[in-house]
Every structure is written in C-alpha cells, then in structure tokens.
C-alpha cells in the first residue's frame, strides 16, 4: 500500500509528539489486554492436567466439577482444584490466571464482611467491592464494556453524522434547510433525562442503550461535517471536478471526504472519551447497564457510599483518570498533527 506523502508527514508529526504517541500505544495495549481479559483475570484455569488429560477451560463450555472428581454438577471451582492438587502430590496440576476471580463471583467469608482491602495472599490486588467481587477484575471487564461501547457509539454516530452532514453541505438548498431545523430541535432534547426515563421503563441492555445514545448523539458531528463540506464544495478543485464531469458520488467519496478527514480524526478521540464518561455516569446514577454487568459507574457509586473502603473509590477514580487522560493526549496530538495551518495556505 502506498501512503500519500502528506499523510505520511502527518503520521510522522504525530509520532514526534511523544506524549500523544505513547498514550496511543498505552490505550491500544489496554484495549488488546481487555479483549483477552479471560486469559489474565478469570476464575477458570488456563490449563488443567488431570488423569493424563489436558483441559483448556478458559474458552468454551463449562466443565462440571464431577469431571475433576468433585461431587457437584455445576462449574468446577478451579481455585479449589488447584489447592487440592497441591495438597495431594500427584502429576495433576492446574495453571490459574494472574487474578483467579471472574468479575461476577462473590468471594465471601465466614465471620467477616466485604468490602475486603487489597491483599496479595488472596490475590485481590485491588481489594473487593461491597459484595466480595474482585475490583481489578471488575475494572478490566468494565473497561472492556466501556471502551467497546464507546467505539460502537462512535461508529454509529459518525456513520450517521458524516453521511448526513456531507449530504447537507453538498446538496444544500431545501434538504439542508430541513435538516438544519431537525438538528436544532434535536439538540434541545435533554438527552440524559430521556435516557433516564426510557431506561426506567425498559431493561437497558447494551444494545438498547447504544441505540438511544446514538439516536441523540449524531447531531454535533453532522453540524461539523456540514460546515466542512460546504467549505470544500466551493473550492476550485471541486469546480474543476464538476467541469470534468465527475459524478456526485465520486466527488464526495473520492475528494471531499478525504479532505475533511482531518476534522473527523481530530474529533474522534474526544468523542470516545465522552462516550466512556456518559456510560459511566449513567451507571453511576443506576440507569445504565443492568446488574451485575461490571461497570465503572457502579464501582464509583459503591466507592461514594463506602468512603471508608478507600480502595474502591481510589481504584476506579485512578482508572478513569488514566484512561481519559491517555485518550485526551492522543486527541491533542492528533489535532496538532492534522493542523491544516501547517500545510496549507489560504488565498
């Protein structure tokens, strides 16, 4: 693939902004890590050797305890299995992930009540929440939910926004006028309230929440794209294209869109972080994803009402700061790298 020298220049410039560059690496790493979270943080063992056979329980169907010689039909407790193997020396062994807890299970104890503080011996590196669930586990799985959610939201809103904005700017006239009014009305709807009302009636699963938020979230990028297209449309190269007889589709997709790309790319990281914040605040208020989905907002809520369990609030707040900061750094660097003032001159 050949990269346009102008784009290459932009990428180079982006790489030279170290803060943003390393942030991008970090956030990508987080995302990849969270996509394979099951391998690092899970109650299922990575690998079990039992009676000469090997088992890989991480992905796939649940293996009942009976298979490994327990007397129950529900999912094997691999922590106990590992303990049993260690106590009675044999060739059998089990390899557990770094944190041997999944985000849903309650690690409750006799005569002691959660939240439990961080403990290395229990492998609750960030402690547990008020019902004994591992915080690190909930943080990572919650991050996955949040980031995938905001990415999906980003694609949905940008998909609608870019196509509609381009059309408005390019076609102009009555089409533009009508949608301008629609957007003006749309932006006056108090989104948060609407979501709260809807999710108090419906079960707010991820899909529904995404639809609602995309339904109200497409306006701002549409506005921006409309302006950008308008600007491009009046420039000479478009005029030249028209004179050469290029079709509207060709003009939009081949020429105008690539020229407005810098705007889209510049806004994307900020949209991503606002998506995370929106989901977190909804969860915090109790109108987000249904329990017991791991979520940062729910952890934040627990932290607020249990201030004395400092490890809950501090873990989730640090995680939020870290994520939002890296995303924002990336956004800043992208903006700087794509700054048109560096490469173009106005007539």
Pick the closer one to another protein by CB: 55 or 170.
55
User: Among 106, 187, 234, 247, which residue interacts with another protein (rule: CB under 8 A)?
Assistant: 106
Per CB under 8 A, does 192 bind another protein? no
Please choose, out of 127-135, 180-188, 229-237, 256-264, the segment that lies near another protein by the rule CB under 8 A. 127-135
Please choose, out of 71-79, 219-227, 254-262, 320-328, the segment that lies near another protein by the rule CB under 8 A. 71-79
Per CB under 8 A, does 62 bind another protein? yes
Per CB under 8 A, does 61 bind another protein? yes
Please choose, out of 13-21, 57-65, 148-156, 169-177, the segment that lies near another protein by the rule CB under 8 A. 57-65
State the nearest-atom distance from the C-beta of 194 to another protein, in Å.
Answer: 14
Applying the rule CB under 8 A, the residues between 215 and 234 that interact with another protein are none
Pick the closer one to another protein by CB: 199 or 323.
199
Helix H, strand E, coil C: the string for the chain is: CCCCHHHHHHHHHHHHCHHHHHHHHHHHHHHHHHHCHHHHECCCCCEEEECCEEECCCCCCCCEHHHHCCCCCCECCHHHHHHHHHHCCCCCEEECCCECCCCCCCCCECCECCCCCCECCCCECCCECCCCCEHHHHHHHHHHHHHHHHHHHHHHHHHHHHHHHHHHHHHCHHHHHHHHHHHHHHHCCCHHHHHHHHHHHCCCCHHHHHHHHHHHHCHHHHHHHHHHHHHHHCCHHHHHHHHHCCCHHHHHHHHHHHHHHHHHHHHHHHHHHHHHHHHHHHHHHCCCCCCCCCCHHHHHHHHHHCCCCHHHHHHHHHHHHHHHHHHHHHHHHHHHHCCHHHCCCCC
User: Among 15, 90, 247, 305, which residue interacts with another protein (rule: CB under 8 A)?
Assistant: 305
Per CB under 8 A, does 200 bind another protein? yes
Per CB under 8 A, does 105 bind another protein? yes
Query: 231 exposed, middle or buried (CB, 10 Å; 0-12, 13-18, 19+)?
Result: middle
Question: CA 175 from chain center: how many Å?
Answer: 34
User: Among 36, 56, 74, 237, which residue interacts with another protein (rule: CB under 8 A)?
Assistant: 74
User: Residue 313 in contact with residue 329, Cβ under 8 Å?
Assistant: no
Residues that contact another protein, how many (by CB under 8 A): 27
State the nearest-atom distance from the C-beta of 168 to another protein, in Å.
Answer: 38
Please choose, out of 21-29, 45-53, 72-80, 214-222, the segment that lies near another protein by the rule CB under 8 A. 72-80
Per CB under 8 A, does 207 bind another protein? no
Per CB under 8 A, does 56 bind another protein? no
Pick the closer one to another protein by CB: 74 or 175.
74
State the nearest-atom distance from the C-beta of 324 to another protein, in Å.
Answer: 26
Please choose, out of 29-37, 60-68, 185-193, 241-249, the segment that lies near another protein by the rule CB under 8 A. 60-68
Task: State the binding string over 263-292 for another protein (x if CB under 8 A, else -).
Answer: -----------------------x---xxx
- Euclidean distance between CA atoms 252 and 254, whole angstroms: 6
Per CB under 8 A, does 72 bind another protein? yes
Residues for the chain: how many in total? 347
- Omega before 296 within 30 of 0, i.e. cis: no
The residues that touch another protein, with contacts defined as CB under 8 A, are 61-62, 64, 72-75, 104-106, 108-110, 113, 130-133, 200-201, 203, 286, 290-292, 305, 308
């Amino acid at each position: 693939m050949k990269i346009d020298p102008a784009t290459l220049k932009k990428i180079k410039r982006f790489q030279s902004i170290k803060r943003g560059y390393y942030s991008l690496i970090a956030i990508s790493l987080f995302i990849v890590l969270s996509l394979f979270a099951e391998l690092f943080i899970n109650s299922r063992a990575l690998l079990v050797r039992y009676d000469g056979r090997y088992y890989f329980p991480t992905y796939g169907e649940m293996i009942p305890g009976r298979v490994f010689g327990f007397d129950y039909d529900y999912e094997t407790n691999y922590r106990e299995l590992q303990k049993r193997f260690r106590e009675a020396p044999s060739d059998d062994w089990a390899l557990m992930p770094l944190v041997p807890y999944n985000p849903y299970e309650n690690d409750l104890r006799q005569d002691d009540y959660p939240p439990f503080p961080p403990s290395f011996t229990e492998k609750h590196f960030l402690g547990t929440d008020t019902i004994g669930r591992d915080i690190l586990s909930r943080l990572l799985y919650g991050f996955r939910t949040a980031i995938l959610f905001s990415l999906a939201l980003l694609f949905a809103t940008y998909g609608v926004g870019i196509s509609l904005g381009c059309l408005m700017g390019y076609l102009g006239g009555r089409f533009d006028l009508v949608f301008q009014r629609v957007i003006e009305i749309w932006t006056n709807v108090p989104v948060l309230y609407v979501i709260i009302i809807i999710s108090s009636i419906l079960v707010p699963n991820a899909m529904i929440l995404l639809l609602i938020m995309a339904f109200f979230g497409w306006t701002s990028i549409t506005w921006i794209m409309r302006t950008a297209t308008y600007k491009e449309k009046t420039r000479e190269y478009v005029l030249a294209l028209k004179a050469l007889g290029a079709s509207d589709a060709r003009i939009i997709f081949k020429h105008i869109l690539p020229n407005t790309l810098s705007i889209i790319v510049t806004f994307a990281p900020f949209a991503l972080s606002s998506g995370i914040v929106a989901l977190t605040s909804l969860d915090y208020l109790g109108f987000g994803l249904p329990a017991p989905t791991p979520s940062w907002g729910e952890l934040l809520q627990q932290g607020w009402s249990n201030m004395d369990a400092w490890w809950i609030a501090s873990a989730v707040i640090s995680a939020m700061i870290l994520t939002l900061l890296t995303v924002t750094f990336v956004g800043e660097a992208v903006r700087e790298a794509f700054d048109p003032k560096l490469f173009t001159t106005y007539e």
